[in-house]
Amino acid sequence: MLQEAINNLTGEQAKELLRQLSTNMPRDVHSVLLPTPDYTNQPQENPPPFCSCGHCVEGATGICCQRTPCITTTATFNDICQKTNVIEVCGVSNYCDQFHDVPTYVPKDYRNQAYRFFTLWQHGRLGRGNRVPLPACAMGKIRWKFPQPDGIYRNFQPGDGPAGVHVSEDDEDDEVV
């Protein structure tokens, strides 16, 4: 019955329906219209010179996880930094509850929560304003999973916490690379 109704839509009706859906369910429409390409767990053919794990991307932090195998190939990384439902429930919703904000469920929100989860997993709780840069391999895989539609990101910005302590991406997202 639903398939029949969809098949009977005119081009204009289909466009109007997509406009309405993109207002009510932007995350779902985004995932259908602008799907994220598959990220391979295979090393890159030409990793940047600073990379020893083989998975780093240019234009990120210039820091490597220096692990073999790369930290991005672990089950834990996948569980906490790549699973949309985990990030949505544990990160985006919790963050919005904490700051009395309405969740938007856009790639930027998922990406920033994945950065926070990675930092918590690797460094523990650092506290407000304390930041450490993410390895380029982790940042690259998170960006691949939750891309910025225009492809423009902000790179690491030092925090205002104690000297020498810095945490990943800021809340406002990534800098042009």
In this prediction, residue 41 carries a pLDDT of: 65
Q: Which amino acid is at 20?
A: Q
Residue 69 and residue 110 in contact, taking contact as beta carbons nearer than 8 Å: no
pLDDT of residue 31: 57
CA 99/CA 134 separation, integer angstroms: 24
pLDDT tens readout for residues 36-88:
444 556 677 788 899 999 998 886 678 999 998 999 999 999 999 998 888 88
- Check whether the bond before 26 is cis (ω within 30° of 0): no
Start-end of H helices in 34-135: 75-81, 84-87, 93-98, 107-123
| For the chain, percent of residues with pLDDT exceeding 70 | 67
Any idea where the domains of the chain sit in the sequence? Answer: 36-145
Residues of the chain with pLDDT > 90, as a percent, come to 21
pLDDT tens per residue, range 127-141:
877 888 899 999 989
Structure tokens at 72: 């991005």
Q: Do residues 26 and 108 make contact, with C-beta atoms less than 8 angstroms apart?
A: no
* b/e sequence 19-37, b meaning 16+ C-beta within 10 Å: eeeeeeeebebbeeeeeee
Q: How many CB atoms lie within 10 A of CB 127?
A: 11
Q: Which two tokens stand for residue 29?
A: 């429409």
How close are the terminal C-alpha atoms of the chain, in Å? 48
* Sign of the four-CA dihedral 171, 124, 121, 59: positive
pLDDT of residue 126: 84
